[in-house]
Amino acid sequence: MAQIMFTPVPRILKDLLMEVETGKLGLPELQRGYVWKTTNVRDLLDSMFKGYPIGYLLLWDSSDTSDKSKQIGTDGKVYSVPRSLIIDGQQRLTSLYAVMRKKKVIDEKFNERPIVISFNPLRGVFDVGDNAIKRASDWIYDIGEAFMNGSRSFAYINERVQVISDARERAGLTLGGDDKQLIQQNIMNLLSLENYSIPTLEINGNADGESVSDIFVRVNSGGKSLGEDDFILTLISVYWQEGRNRMEEFCRSAKIPKQGTAYNFLFEPSPTHIIRAAMGFGFRIAKLRYAYMLLRGRDFDNEVYYDDLREMRFNELKNAIDKVLNVQAWKSFIKCVEAAGFVSKSLISSVNALVYSYTMFLIGKYSYGMSESALRKLISKWFFMAAVTGYYTSSLETDVESDMADLRSIKTESEFTALLESKIDAVFTHDYFEISLPDNLANSATRNPSWFGYCAALNVLDAKVLFSELRTRELSVPAADGTKNALERHHLFPKAYLAKIGVGDDRDRNQNANFAFIEWSDNIEILDSGPSEYMKDRLAKIPPDAKASVYADHALPEGWENMDYREFLQRRRVLMANVIKRGYERLK
């Protein structure tokens, strides 16, 4: 029989909380941030209150944790380095610690927040604390207060009974003796949760980091399900904590406006996005299941794991992530996306298109040494194609793996450029623009990639806003102060007008082809009048020599304002597809 790597040890919750409080028991960085919803915490406490089992904790008693751990919570600790680390059950113990000790948690978006759980001592039920409960006298709004008053529990219980009794009297009611006794008993039962017995499995102290990482992956059984990206982040945390920290800081900086950081208007990356880009760029791998085995040092020929292979591949990964996290490269890529007309996050329908277009950018820049101008032109076309067609939205890893396989045989810059352009041409065919794209625009979805492609094409073509001298690009960029965007989607055939003529279904009225961008003030003025009416004044303001250009950019058929609505939609879809084609040709 193989050597058992763990020992079962029964633990009392109060002792575990004390070890967390002092820092003796810590949280390894191989775990994700706090991801539980407050309702999950409520249900956990309810199960404990009813005496139900809540699963076991898995701890690692490691003597070498100086670079691999952090404590739960956001306050200082007595122990600068934890003696034991939580490998499984982190969300449960973090929840109980935060609630019972009134500590804030740091979630996966790096936000610091409290967890407030309320308790009704008369009914013996828990709920998520809100303003209504906070005002209700028969609730303990934050049960953390009860646990913080544990040393004076007798006095605290009497005070709560008195508060509820006084509130009943003010309402002309009386709190009976049986109810008082029930309140006292339920609060005592609440406080006794600190003595709740939790089965604990302790991994032997001599287990190495990789074994612990593998155990974590295999036994994780609760909370948010894990994917291969979590496993890879686990390995990075065990073997390269600095790299994990750098990824998280890069992702955090992408959300905060500051010079010299990853901040941008288009994309808030996560560590998973960084991993995908690094594996694609550094190893030409898209399937993260294979990436995880590769980073563990697997020899795929004989299916054996080797330490020297793991070390070599981690060095390769470090070099790849250095390039992925290069702010200058990141900013240059963002310019490629903006050059393709996608100047706002609201126009991005696929984050994967950003991730893998960035991968292609990195390959062109570092693997083939492409010049800035040539690379920007190529990646702008690539992203435009990927975004408009939903290239990365079906069988993601399979499709990307096919691209990565094609890249493995590419040796020169010219071959790389030719490969990407051939893939673009294989998608952007004559039939695509003439048949498929108009069909894709027969859609009322607000996040239709084809509609976003039309919006981006207007920006590429430097088109003016309908009925305006301003450009769509300058009005599409988000306002830095968060004020209302001056650009509005306008129903060319207003909804109220369509209702009058018998078109009552929103799927028909909100067709992509019924929208055009105009300035907010114009949208207010037009309101619900029909196009044949409001276009009388608008046409007079368009110079005769500019009308053809305006109609071409906004895909408006001649005399559209007097057309049957169904005919208008059909004809405009064809013209919108042509605008998208013209936008792509401008990029070429």
At residue 13, the pLDDT reads 95
- For residue 1, is pLDDT > 50? no
Question: Which pLDDT band holds residue 75 (cuts at 50, 70, 90)?
Answer: low
Contacts made by residues 559-566, CB under 8 angstroms, sequence distance 24+: 560/492, 560/531, 561/531, 561/532, 561/535, 562/531, 562/532, 565/493, 565/498, 565/501, 565/503
Q: Which amino acid belongs to residue 518?
A: I
Range of lowest pLDDT (295-299, 366-370, 424-428, 443-447) = 295-299
At residue 35, the pLDDT reads 79
* Residue (of 340, 341, 345) closest to 361 by Cα position: 340
Average per-residue pLDDT in the chain? 86
Work out the average pLDDT over 433-462: 94
How far apart are the C-alpha atoms of 479 and 486, rounded to whole Å? Answer: 9
At residue 544, the pLDDT reads 79
Work out the average pLDDT over 505-525: 79
- For residue 8, is pLDDT > 60? yes
For 46-60, how does the pLDDT look when each residue is reduced to its tens digit (9 = 90+)?
Answer: 999 999 999 888 887
Instruction: Give the CA-trace dihedral at 321, 322, 326, 329, to 10 degrees.
Output: -70
At residue 480, the pLDDT reads 43
Which of 274-288, 294-308, 357-371, 485-499 reaches the highest mean pLDDT?
Answer: 357-371
Range of lowest pLDDT (315-329, 333-347, 512-526, 543-557) = 512-526
Question: Which pLDDT band holds residue 30 (cuts at 50, 70, 90)?
Answer: very low
Which residue has better confidence, 260 or 70? 260
At residue 208, the pLDDT reads 59
For 247-285, how does the pLDDT look when each residue is reduced to its tens digit (9 = 90+)?
Answer: 989 999 998 888 889 999 899 999 999 999 999 999 999
**Distances from the Cα of 210 to the Cαs of 69, 84, 237, 278, 306, in angstroms?**
15, 16, 10, 21, 12
At residue 448, the pLDDT reads 94
Question: Which pLDDT band holds residue 66 (cuts at 50, 70, 90)?
Answer: very low
At residue 219, the pLDDT reads 59
**What are the residue boundaries of the structural domains of the chain, listed by start?**
1-208, 227-418, 436-587
Give how far the C-alpha of residue 77 lies from the chain's centroid of Cα atoms, to the nearest Å.
Answer: 31
At residue 79, the pLDDT reads 55
- For residue 481, is pLDDT > 50? no
The encoded tokens of residue 37 equal: 């919803």
At residue 484, the pLDDT reads 45
Which of 49-53, 308-312, 535-539, 543-547 reaches the highest mean pLDDT?
Answer: 49-53
Assess contact for 512 and 451: CB atoms under 8 A: yes
- For residue 447, is pLDDT > 50? yes
Which residue has better confidence, 359 or 81? 359
Work out the average pLDDT over 336-340: 97
How far apart are the C-alpha atoms of 342 and 485, rounded to whole Å? Answer: 16
At residue 336, the pLDDT reads 97
Work out the average pLDDT over 443-453: 93
Task: Give the contacts of 16 (CB within 8 A, at least 6 positions apart).
Answer: 25, 57, 93, 198, 200
Work out the average pLDDT over 339-367: 95
- For residue 224, is pLDDT > 50? no
Q: Which amino acid belongs to residue 442?
A: A
- For residue 560, is pLDDT > 70? yes
- For residue 323, is pLDDT > 50? yes
As a whole-number percent, the residues of the chain with pLDDT over 70 amount to 86
At residue 203, the pLDDT reads 80
Which of 72-86, 228-242, 464-478, 523-537 reaches the highest mean pLDDT?
Answer: 464-478
3-state class (DSSP) for residue 563:
coil
**Distances from the Cα of 442 to the Cαs of 150, 486, 507, in angstroms?**
64, 27, 10
At residue 475, the pLDDT reads 75
At residue 579, the pLDDT reads 97
* Residue (of 496, 479, 499) closest to 487 by Cα position: 479
As a whole-number percent, the residues of the chain with pLDDT over 90 amount to 56
- For residue 62, is pLDDT > 70? no
**Distances from the Cα of 115 to the Cαs of 15, 34, 112, 129, 533, in angstroms?**
21, 11, 10, 9, 57
At residue 293, the pLDDT reads 82
Work out the average pLDDT over 518-534: 68
Question: Which pLDDT band holds residue 77 (cuts at 50, 70, 90)?
Answer: low
Alpha helices, H only, 149-240: 153-170, 177-191, 209-219, 228-239
- For residue 348, is pLDDT > 80? yes
Q: How large is the angle between the packed helices 241-253 and 228-239, nearest 10 degrees?
A: 120
At residue 404, the pLDDT reads 93
- For residue 161, is pLDDT > 50? yes
